[in-house]
Amino acid sequence: TDALEKIVLGAPRGVVLSDEDRRRTAYHESGHAIVGMLTPGADPVRKVSIIPRTMSLGVTLSAPDQERTNYDEEYLTTRIRVALGGRVAEELVYGSISAGAESDIQQLTAIARQMVGRWGMSRAIGPIAVLPSEAQNPLLPGASQTSERTQQLVDEEVRRIVDDAHNAVSTLLADHRDRLDSLTEALLAAETLDEDAAYEAARVQREPSPAPA
């Protein structure tokens, strides 16, 4: 995980956070982690850190036990919920939001738009491609011309998916505020928690890995 962290996020940078920013970052990352730990089907949390790095002030690293080659609707919705965890934790604790959720918002918006416009996971749109494919060819021509109304419907469906996820995450973190606080305090003390320490601090039982087929 140390090597993966450096590759994905870059090496630690010499930024000294104020106590207020450090605590807010700890709550943000703990929000991601708690949602990941308590949401069925989410990838296990491997590491949580509040050491500033090239692209972020902190990181919550999650990875599946086995490599995934396909993503169903439930898993993608879970990814959106985990991405919202940091922002919702800030809303819950501080009653306000910060710019720290920028990359999370970009990620979850991209997932929701592809669910609606490319993967046929919206009942309102149906199994119709209305967004361009990354790789278009005669067998995968991507999206055809769509009306302004269809594009508006895509936006509405993306909003619905994200709003539903936001409501679910808000309820989950409010119900488990004690776990959020516990993990945050442990993170402030240690700065970086590996998988076992993070689950222990959050008082969450790690689900056993599925047996290999």
Active-site positions? Answer: 29
Q: Can you tell me whether residue 56 is helix, strand or coil?
A: strand
| Structure-block tokens of residue 40 | 């069925």
Q: Can you tell me whether residue 213 is helix, strand or coil?
A: coil
Distance of CA 62 to the CA centre of its chain: 9
- Phi, psi at residue 12, to the nearest 5°? -55, 145
DSSP 81-145: HHHHHHHHHHHHHHSS--GGGHHHHHHHHHHHHHHHHTS---TTT-S---S--SS-BTTB-----
**26 C-beta neighbours (distance < 10 Å), count:** 25
